[in-house]
A and B are shown apart, each in its own frame.
Chain A
Amino acid sequence: MLRYDSTSSSAGSSSGSLSSSSSSSKPPQQDIDGLLAGAGYKVRSSELRQVAQRLERLETAMGNSPADFSQLASDAILYNPSDLACWVDSLLTEFAEPPPTCSSDFIVDPVNNQTVVNSAWTTAEPHTPQVHQNITYDEQQSLDNQLTVVTAMEEDSGIRLVHMLMTCAECVQSGDLSLATSLIGDMQGLLTHVNTVCGIGKVAGHFIDALSRRIFQGMGGGSVNGGSAFENEILHHHFYEACPYLKFAHFTANQAILEAFDGHDCVHVVDFNLMHGLQWPALIQALALRPGGPPLLRLTGIGPPSPDGRDSLREIGLRLAELARSVNVRFAFRGVAASRLEDVKPWMLQVNPKEAVAVNSIMQLHRLLGSEQTRNSPIDTVLSWIRGLNPKIMTVVEQEANHNQPGFLDRFTEALYYYSTMFDSLEACRVQPEKALAEIYIQREIGNVVSCEGSARVERHEPLAKWRRRLSGAGFRALHLGSNAFKQASMLLTLFSAEGYSVEENEGCLSLGWHSRPLIAASAWQAVPAWDNHMSSS
């Protein structure tokens, strides 16, 4: 079961639930123990004693059988370890009541009308709603303006190149285009002395190209990074194969969607960017193996219109339908062709009020952001109608980067760190042409961030901290991703990827990074019911 920031209080806790804290005079963050916060734990000072008591109870429960405890406890699914009170509680719950007994599960095979015992499947543990302190902490702290970098050992010419890139970007920002142009020339010369196969040399080349395009096309405008939808899909597919970022996004989102769909017989997934539908076979398979049988699955895939009369969305839909049939999942597909996400209207999705809806956005929401905060901007419109659908879950995966800053130099600097880390991680990929095409995929992103402006600049990545604020403000609350999703992501990395990738948990969200730098973050959300609105104002 997914955990969520709940306004309901649990019987066992006497701490203030959200409904009372909204009327308390002290804003939640002032009551947080500052020293424990520094250690990564959010505990209200007023609750320290209770948390201590619960820790003691757990310790007593451990008693003389630490071995059993370890075995059993490690099977528990834990959420949001920063909320110390909460996870101590969840462990206590784990041991306070015996779990439901395991019964054999039967799946009726619709084709043969035979029952098949599926002993591999057991029901998930029911979780009693816990108090989740809806603590809004000051995100203006270091989190917001985080500037992280992992550097590899570079030679001097690499450092010089970076120096020149920064100077050039500064010139572009201040409008000194003639100096910028001459720097471009110098840098291209320097490139010949630097190892362009890996490290800073490789990514520098792409940034030099992007800068020169920006300079020579004049500020503003700039062409959208060409490429037909077909080309983009190919590049996307190779990026998917070459490194684990998209796989992580898909598996993590699928896990959350699967849990959200638990107990529902009619489910509807709305995919904001279908591409080749790579995310869905795994979900279809998982639903097929669900205890109690699969639901009726509807998938609505949004994607750009195909230029040459082909209906590529439908083609993907047909392939997925075939897969679904092969595993006996009743499946229906609808394609919605739209060049921009903001052109999609909710009626096009034909959501049935009886369905459980999952909205899935893998690196799409940022495209709706403009550089200015205007009312009724595309992001607000879209978030509003998503909320209107009352989805069981909205899965959001975004690049963990601050590429939507108004100042060009800041954006450029951030992008330089971000993409050099990403390129570094790509070094581990040995498969061609996946690697080369993945690099072009990333290169196009760089080009968009650096050389485009206005409506042409669609790669407006914002970090998780900003998305949290934005989504909370739009009437969504976080559904926490737990230790099971974390473990799945970690194991995915072991199976598919080289050493150096790391998964991190951050207050209910998961991120995947290269060494210590997170590059992509996954989170899950649910619409706050309308009547709750006045209590959950951020």
Chain B
Amino acid sequence: MNYGFLSSFFQKDLFLVLGFVFECLKERGMAGSNEVNLNECKTVVPLNTWVLISSFKLAYNLLRRPDGTFNRHLAEFLDRKVPANLNPVDGVFSFDVLIDRATGLLCRIYRPATAEEPEPNIVELEKPVVGDVVPVIIFFHGGSFAHSSANSAIYDTLCRRLVGICKAVVVSVNYRRAPENRYPCAYDDGWTAFKWVNSRSWLQSQKDSKVHIYLAGDSSGGNIAHHVAARAVESGIDVLGNILLNPMFGGQERTESEMRLDGKYFVTLRDRDWYWRAFLPEGENRDHPACNPFGPNGRSLEGIKFPKSLVVVAGLDLIQDWQLAYVEGLRKAGKEVKLLYMEQATIGFYLLPNNNHFHTVMDEISEFVGSDC
């Protein structure tokens, strides 16, 4: 029995310097621009949204270390998670599936409860879906590649909503995160999940005995959705559509929106840089194609059967120039893309159903998926 490590947990370095540092901070006082920022922020989002996103921001600041490491223990402690629930809540039940033992890749599956079988049991989990056309949405949660999980409360809520509005089965992928697992782990996990979904006979639509797959994600999840779609078409498997919510893209250059909005609405350039450094292979810069798919190291999708895309851009998101460049890149390659530019929206607007942007976007997603049924 190793008792030694116990004592290290009772160790606490007391910083004599802490008091000193705080005195310095107090003296610096409220920087004028900071004060303005905080107030600006609060006028564009409802108070509870502001509290939610600000507390994420605060927590995330605690977790990112300047040396590029990440306080994973504290991250898992702070993240609010919910278990899967076979008992339908608002007509949706969920269960977790281990789809790859080797990597421990879990997915949470959300299905609508049917009128005939309102309370599913273990043998009904993988009962074939009923319907001519049943959309299956593979969802990649956000978190800038480092935060959150498939069982995070905010994403569990979002996925349940997607089931309802799209009459779909949603598969939320618990991909491996940075910095412990850099590129291409998240994409590999996305691909594993994609292949798994595509090979489930119980997910096939009755019309053509095929799985009707949509890829969706927010922030880093949107980025993953793009790359998995690219890989899918390369392998000759159809993807019916991509839904990218505030997708996380970037590049080496500093764009106008980045400079104008830096630090203004919850997000700073500095933290964006940190996450890219944590995800991209060491030594690579932000023009790596993972980050900048249509940049100097990217490639055009011309002539490739890339799915139609619904791209949602928040007007107060500092990386919007990159997101708009992504949309432009799709257009130039002749791909079908619908851009939803939500002017007064900040990041995370889709997490709480308390604003117009939320409802607009949900309607658009519903239509986007529904148009194939």
What is A's interface to B at a CB cutoff of 8 Å? Answer: 33, 35-36, 38-41, 43, 48-49, 51-52, 55-56, 58-75, 78, 81-82, 84, 88, 91, 95-102, 120-122, 124-125, 142, 145-153, 159, 162-163, 166, 251, 255, 258, 281-282, 285-286, 289, 413, 416-417, 483-484, 486-488, 490-491, 495, 499-500, 502-505, 515-518
B81 interface neighbour in A75, A484, A504, Cβ under 8 Å: A504
Chain B positions within 8 Å of A286 at CB level: 3, 6-7, 10
Q: A421 CB to closest chain B CB, in angstroms?
A: 10
Q: Are B122 and A413 in contact (CB under 8 A)?
A: yes
Distance (Å) between the CB of A482 and the closest chain B CB? 8
Known: A81-B78, A82-B80, A98-B18. A63 touches B28 (CB 8 A): yes
Q: Is the beta-carbon distance between A70 and B122 smaller than 8 angstroms?
A: no
Contact in complex: B87, A145 (CB < 8 Å) = yes
Beyond A81-B80, A121-B10, A483-B77, whether A162 also contacts B106 by CB under 8 A is no
20 examples of A-B residue contacts, CB within 8 angstroms: A38-B157, A39-B157, A40-B82, A48-B47, A52-B51, A55-B55, A69-B62, A73-B61, A75-B13, A98-B18, A124-B12, A146-B83, A146-B85, A153-B98, A159-B126, A486-B76, A487-B9, A515-B104, A515-B106, A516-B83
Binds A, one of B63-71, B110-118, B216-224, B276-284: B63-71
Pairs of residues from A and B, 10 with the lowest C-beta to C-beta distance, nearest first: A40-B80, A98-B19, A40-B153, A147-B86, A487-B73, A486-B77, A102-B14, A67-B66, A148-B83, A285-B3
The smallest beta-carbon distance between B50 and chain A, in angstroms, is 6
Contact of A59 among B34, B52, B63 (CB under 8 A): B34
Instruction: List residues of chain B with CB under 8 Å of any chain A CB.
Output: 1-3, 5-7, 9-16, 18-19, 21-22, 24-25, 28, 30-31, 34, 38, 42, 47-48, 50-52, 54-55, 58, 61-66, 71-74, 76-78, 80-87, 89, 95-99, 101, 104, 106, 108, 121-123, 125-126, 151-154, 157, 174, 270, 351-354
Contact in complex: B2, A495 (CB < 8 Å): yes
Q: Given known contacts A61-B25, A98-B18, A487-B77, what 6 new A-B pairs fall within 8 Å (CB)?
A: A52-B51, A55-B58, A69-B62, A121-B11, A483-B77, A490-B76
- In the complex, the answer to whether B9 meets A488 with C-beta atoms within 8 Å is yes
**Residue numbers in B under 8 Å from A490 (CB-CB):** 72-73, 76
CB atoms of A413 and B121 under 8 A apart = yes
Most buried by A among B24, B30, B73: B73
Q: Which residues in B have their C-beta under 8 angstroms from that of A39?
A: 52, 80, 153-154, 157, 351-352
Q: Looking at the complex, which one of A49, A74, A96, A282 makes contact with B74 (CB distance below 8 Å)?
A: A74
List of B residues within 8 angstroms of A483 by Cβ: 73-74, 77-78
* Beta-carbon nearest neighbor of A37 in chain B: B153
B64 — which chain A residues lie within 8 A by C-beta? Answer: 70
Q: From residue A277, how far is it (CB to closest CB) to chain B in Å?
A: 12
Query: Would B5 and A491 count as touching, CB distance under 8 A?
Result: yes
B11 pairs with A147, CB closer than 8 A: no
Minimal beta-carbon separation of B319 from chain A (angstroms): 19
B51 near A43 (CB under 8 angstroms)? yes
Interchain CA distance A285-B7 in the complex, whole Å? 9
Inter-chain contact A38/B153, CB cutoff 8 Å = yes
Given contacts A52-B42, A75-B12, A416-B122, contact A147 B85 (CB under 8 A): yes
B51 touches A36 (CB 8 A): yes
Question: Which residue of B has the minimal Cβ distance to A198?
Answer: B101
B258 CB → nearest A CB, Å: 18
A146 to B19, CA, bound (A): 47
Given the known A-B contacts A64-B31, A503-B76, are A151 and B97 also in contact in the complex, defined by CB atoms under 8 Å?
Answer: yes
**Interchain nearest-CB distance for A488 vs B (Å):** 5
* Contact, CB under 8 Å: A149 / B86: yes
Most chain B beta-carbon contacts within 10 A, residue among A148, A488, A502: A148
B77 and A78 contact, CB distance less than 8 A: yes
B194 to chain A, nearest CB (A): 15
Most buried by A among B1, B28, B98: B98
Q: A55-B55, A286-B10, A487-B73 are in contact. Are A500 and B96 (CB under 8 A)?
A: no
Query: Chain B's nearest CB lies how many Å from the CB of A518?
Result: 7
Q: Known contacts A63-B25, A148-B96; decide if A70 and B66 are in contact (CB<8 Å).
A: yes
- A417 vs B125: C-alpha distance when bound (angstroms): 13
Contact of A41 with B55 in the complex, beta carbons under 8 Å = yes
Tell me which of A52, A152, A285 has the highest count of chain B C-beta atoms within 10 A of its own C-beta.
Answer: A52
Measured between beta carbons, the chain B residues less than 8 angstroms from A518 are 83
A515 touches B87 (CB 8 A): no
Residues in A whose Cβ lies below 8 Å from that of B10:
121, 124, 258, 286, 289
Return A153 CB to nearest CB of chain B, in Å. Answer: 7
| Distance in Å: Cβ of B349 to nearest Cβ of chain A | 13
Q: Are A35 and B83 in contact (CB under 8 A)?
A: no
Which chain B residues border A495 with CB–CB below 8 Å? 2, 5
- Cβ-defined contact, A59 with B58, below 8 A: yes
Contact at A500–B104, with CB atoms within 8 Å? Answer: yes
The residue of chain A having its C-beta at the shortest distance from the C-beta of B35 within the complex is: A60
Contact A142 B98 (CB under 8 A): no
Query: Which listed residue, A58, A122, A491, A504, touches B73 by the CB 8 Å rule?
Result: A491
Known contacts A63-B28, A286-B10: does B54 contact A55 (CB below 8 Å)? yes
Instruction: Determine the distance from Cα of A106 to Cα of B64 in the docked complex, in whole angstroms.
Output: 36
Q: How far is the CB of A490 from chain B (nearest CB, A)?
A: 5
B58 touches A58 (CB 8 A): yes
Q: How far is the CA of A163 from the CA of B127 in the complex (A)?
A: 12
B121 to chain A, nearest CB (A): 6
Measured CB to CB, the closest approach of chain A to B76, in angstroms, equals: 7
Assess the B31–A63 pair: CB atoms within 8 A: yes
Q: Are A153 and B62 in contact (CB under 8 A)?
A: no
CB distance from B90 to the nearest CB of A (A): 10
Tell whether, in the assembled complex, residue B52 and residue A41 are in contact, meaning their CB atoms are under 8 Å apart. Answer: yes
Q: Would A515 and B7 be within 8 Å (CB), given that A102-B16, A142-B87, A148-B84 are in contact?
A: no
State how many angstroms separate the Cβ of A269 from the closest Cβ of chain B: 16
A78 to B59, CA, bound (A): 11
A200–B16 CA distance with the chains assembled, in angstroms: 56
- Does A74 contact B80, Cβ atoms closer than 8 Å? no
Which A-chain residue is minimally distant from B102 (CB atoms)? A499
Taking a contact as CB atoms under 8 Å apart, the answer to whether B99 and A68 are in contact is no
Contact partner of B52 among A36, A62, A95, CB < 8 A?
A: A36
Complex contact A150–B106 (CB within 8 A) = yes
Select A33's contact among B48, B81, B104, beta carbons within 8 Å: B48
B contact residues around A285 at 8 Å (CB) = 3, 6
A contact residues around B50 at 8 Å (CB): 52
Are B61 and A51 within 8 A (Cβ)?
A: no
B6, B31, B61, B123: the one contacting A70 at CB < 8 Å is B61
B34: chain A residues within 8 A (beta carbon): 59-60, 63
A392 to B12, CA, bound (A): 24
Q: A69–B61 contact, CB under 8 A?
A: yes
Flag if B71 contacts A74 (CB, 8 Å): yes
Taking a contact as CB atoms under 8 Å apart, the answer to whether A282 and B353 are in contact is no
State in angstroms the CA–CA spacing of A500 and B64 once bound together. Answer: 24
CB of A184, distance to nearest CB on chain B (Å): 18
B128 to chain A, nearest CB (A): 13
Are the C-beta atoms of A71 and B96 separated by less than 8 Å? no
Q: Within the complex, which residue of A35, A78, A91 is in contact with B352, where a contact is CB–CB below 8 Å? A: A35
Residues of chain A contacted by B38 (CB below 8 angstroms)? 56, 59
- Shortest Cβ gap from A110 to chain B (Å): 20
Q: Quick one: closest B residue to A486, CB to CB?
A: B77
CB-based contact A88/B7 at 8 Å? no
In the bound complex, do residue A64 and residue B9 qualify as a contact, i.e. CB atoms below 8 Å apart?
no
Out of B21, B77, B82, B151, name the residue touching A65 (CB < 8 Å): B21
- CB pair A142–B85 under 8 Å, yes or no, is yes
- B148 to chain A minimum Cβ distance, whole angstroms, is 11
**Given A39-B157, A48-B47, A66-B61, A166 and B121 touching (CB < 8 A)?**
yes
Closest Cβ–Cβ distance, residue A243 to chain B (whole Å): 15
Residues from chain B with a CB closer than 8 A to the CB of A72 are 15, 18, 21
If A48-B48, A55-B51, A495-B2 touch, whether A484 touches B85 (CB-CB below 8 Å) is: no
Shortest Cβ distance from A81 into B: residue: B78
* Known A33-B48, A51-B51, A151-B125; contact A61-B9, beta-carbon cutoff 8 A: no
Residue of A nearest to B152 (CB): A40
